[in-house]
């Protein structure tokens, strides 16, 4: 597959890196040569300086040979026009646009965008707010996603010292959990995947699991966590993400929501458009304002400003004032690796959220869904099994599973079945598979010779 990416911001670069790990050809376009830098050599991609809304630039970039066009610049109109050119002039079959403005996201405009050749619209703010909503109910989760129409939950949990699984290998864990319906997909230790066949789990390891939704609370109990949706939330930052998050909390009947915004104009906008949320105009670092806030009346603080540093400090400030749980939006990988557990309970990377969302729309064939891990170590694929698939040729202990691939379970007739050596995957089953970064081609071979995930 050949992909053309318009916009060399954090999302564009993250997409380019991931697609190259799967050996796809990538062309990256940006009107500013600065972000392109040495990416051509570092990632082995083609880089073009120029506007993605220019036909001449797209022609120079080789748009006539492109399979997928991803418009992820920071300008909505540029992204829409670029998609229009991609289809009408260069006949690119798949076009995805990142749109920030709430105006374009109104359902009644969906047909209008289709007429303008935008196949799929992704909104960074809505996607990020949705991810925050998924994590707010589980304190300390490093990753959360709902799969297969909420039948299965994917969760990443850090093993605490009191976790019953510490000191156990995967084989021992399978004996220990009995009838609790979950499976372990991967374990991350010091930013690397480890093989737990003979190596026991340690405190501090991040364990990624799949669990039947009805068994979620039992699994959390095993790990020493609880499922407690917050009823009172304090939001720092009323930008696009903070606004969308407040709206979602209102729809979820969380009535005690307070939002702090330091821009007077934006605070007025928020107050006019949020029905149940208390909007305060001021700086989250203002001692006078903070003295007026009763932190003990809130269960959770969520920092959604544009600054990683501010989000970390605001989370630490809330924790110091007695806040039970904190969540911060973070872009910098360095912060993600070192800040968790030091006062910030949940870290969410908007760039990883966007990559995950876009990859779901890029997948084709029998891939029904997927989820890209925030750690960047791999992804979960939800695959409908064909009769000709290699994985159906016998019980799992007779099937050669390639390195970097872990079967997480099967849904058959609406029931989640965790993998075991005697399980025979059948045509029509939905299989959940963890694919480490760079191993998508191996997963394709496992499901059928002719299947292509991209």
pLDDT in tens, 115-142: 878 888 998 888 899 889 888 878 768 8
What is the structure's pLDDT at 295?
Answer: 87
pLDDT greater than 70 at residue 51: yes
Asked whether residue 36 is assigned to any structural domain, the reply reads yes
> What is the spatial distance between Cα 361 and Cα 368, in angstroms, rounded to a whole number?
10
> What is the spatial distance between Cα 105 and Cα 102, in angstroms, rounded to a whole number?
5
What is the structure's pLDDT at 276?
Answer: 93
Confidence of residue 453 (pLDDT cuts 50, 70, 90): low
> What is the spatial distance between Cα 103 and Cα 385, in angstroms, rounded to a whole number?
39
The CA angle 187-193-199, to the nearest 5 degrees, is 65
Task: Say how far residue 158 (Cα) sits from the centre of its chain.
Answer: 18
| Contact indicator for 2, 93 with CB cutoff of 8 Å | no
Q: What is the mean pLDDT of the chain?
A: 88
Task: Say how far residue 311 (Cα) sits from the centre of its chain.
Answer: 19
Same-domain check for residues 422 and 437: yes
Residue with more model confidence, 440 or 82: 82
Q: State the residue for tokens 């499922």.
A: 227
pLDDT greater than 70 at residue 452: no
Same-domain check for residues 137 and 171: yes
**Cβ-based neighbours of 41, under 8 Å, separated by 6 or more:** none
What is the structure's pLDDT at 454?
Answer: 58
> What is the spatial distance between Cα 217 and Cα 214, in angstroms, rounded to a whole number?
8
| Section 224-237 average pLDDT | 89
Asked whether residue 244 is assigned to any structural domain, the reply reads yes
pLDDT tens-digit map of 152-170: 999 998 888 888 888 888 7
Of 133, 150, 141, the closest CA to residue 251 belongs to 133
What is the structure's pLDDT at 144?
Answer: 87
Domain boundary among 319, 352, 385: 352
| Section 412-435 average pLDDT | 91
Confidence of residue 365 (pLDDT cuts 50, 70, 90): low
| Contact indicator for 124, 98 with CB cutoff of 8 Å | yes
Same-domain check for residues 340 and 387: no
| Section 411-434 average pLDDT | 92
Same-domain check for residues 438 and 406: yes
What is the structure's pLDDT at 341?
Answer: 57
What is the structure's pLDDT at 108?
Answer: 77
Same-domain check for residues 35 and 118: yes
pLDDT greater than 70 at residue 37: yes
Q: Which domain holds residue 28?
A: 2-122
pLDDT greater than 90 at residue 61: yes
What is the count of structural domains for the chain? Answer: 4
pLDDT greater than 80 at residue 367: no
What is the structure's pLDDT at 364?
Answer: 63
Same-domain check for residues 342 and 256: yes
Whichever domain contains 45, its CATH number is 3.40.50.720
* Backbone torsions φ then ψ of 356, nearest 5 degrees: -60, -45
Q: What is the DSSP secondary-structure string of 121-186?
A: EE-HHHHHHHHHHHHTTBTTEEEEEEETTTTEEEEEEEPPTT-TTTT--HHHHHHHHTT--EEEEE
Of 68-82, 257-271, 349-363, which gets the smallest average pLDDT? 349-363
Domain boundary among 352, 384, 406: 352
> What is the spatial distance between Cα 220 and Cα 228, in angstroms, rounded to a whole number?
11
Confidence of residue 411 (pLDDT cuts 50, 70, 90): very high
Using a pLDDT cut of 70, give the percent of the chain over it: 96
Of 264, 292, 146, 268, the closest CA to residue 210 belongs to 146
The encoded tokens of residue 120 equal 């799929």
Same-domain check for residues 112 and 25: yes
pLDDT greater than 90 at residue 212: yes
Asked whether residue 453 is assigned to any structural domain, the reply reads no
Domain boundary among 352, 385, 417: 352
> What is the spatial distance between Cα 4 and Cα 1, in angstroms, rounded to a whole number?
10
């Amino acid at each position: 597959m050949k992909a053309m990416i318009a916009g060399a911001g954090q999302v564009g670069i993250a997409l380019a890196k991931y697609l190259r790990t799967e050996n796809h050809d990538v062309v990256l376009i940006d009107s500013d040569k600065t972000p392109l830098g040495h990416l051509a050599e570092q990632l082995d991609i083609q880089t073009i300086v120029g506007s993605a809304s220019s036909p001449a630039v797209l022609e120079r970039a080789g748009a006539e040979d492109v399979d997928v066009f991803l418009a992820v610049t920071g300008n909505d109109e540029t992204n829409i026009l670029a998609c229009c050119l991609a289809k009408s002039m260069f006949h690119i079959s798949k076009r995805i646009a990142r749109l920030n403005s709430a105006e374009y996201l109104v359902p009644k405009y969906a047909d209008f965008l289709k007429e303008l050749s935008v196949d799929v619209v992704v909104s960074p703010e809505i996607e990020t707010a949705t991810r925050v909503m998924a994590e707010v109910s589980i304190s300390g989760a490093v990753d959360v996603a709902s799969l297969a129409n909420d039948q299965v939950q994917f969760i990443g949990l850090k093993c605490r010292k009191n976790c019953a699984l510490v000191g156990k290998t995967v084989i021992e864990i399978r004996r220990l959990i009995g009838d609790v319906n979950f499976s372990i997909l991967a374990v991350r230790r010091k930013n690397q995947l480890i093989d737990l066949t003979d190596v026991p789990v340690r405190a501090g390891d991040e364990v990624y699991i799949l669990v039947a939704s009805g068994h979620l609370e039992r699994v959390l109990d095993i790990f020493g966590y609880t499922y407690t949706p917050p009823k009172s939330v304090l939001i720092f930052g009323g930008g696009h993400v903070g606004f969308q998050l407040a709206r979602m909390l209102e729809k979820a009947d969380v009535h005690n929501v307070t939002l702090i915004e330091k821009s007077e104009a934006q605070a007025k906008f928020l107050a006019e458009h949020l029905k149940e949320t208390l909007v305060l105009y001021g700086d989250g670092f203002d001692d006078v304002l903070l003295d007026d806030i009763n932190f003990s009346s809130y269960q959770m603080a969520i920092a959604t400003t544009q600054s990683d540093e501010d989000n970390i400090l605001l989370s630490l400030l809330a924790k110091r004032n007695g806040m039970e749980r904190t969540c911060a939006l973070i872009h910098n990988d360095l912060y993600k690796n070192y800040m968790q557990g030091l006062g910030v309970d949940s870290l969410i990377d908007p760039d990883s959220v966007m990559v995950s969302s876009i990859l779901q729309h890029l997948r084709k064939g029998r891939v029904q869904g997927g989820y890209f891990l925030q750690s960047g170590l791999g992804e979960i694929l939800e695959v409908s099994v064909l009769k000709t698939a290699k994985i159906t040729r016998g019980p799992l202990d007779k099937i050669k599973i390639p390195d970097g691939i872990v079967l997480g379970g099967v849904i058959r007739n609406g029931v989640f079945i965790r993998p075991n050596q005697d399980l025979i995957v059948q045509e029509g089953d939905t299989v959940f598979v963890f694919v480490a970064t760079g191993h998508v081609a191996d997963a394709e071979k496992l499901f059928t010779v002719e299947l292509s995930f991209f």
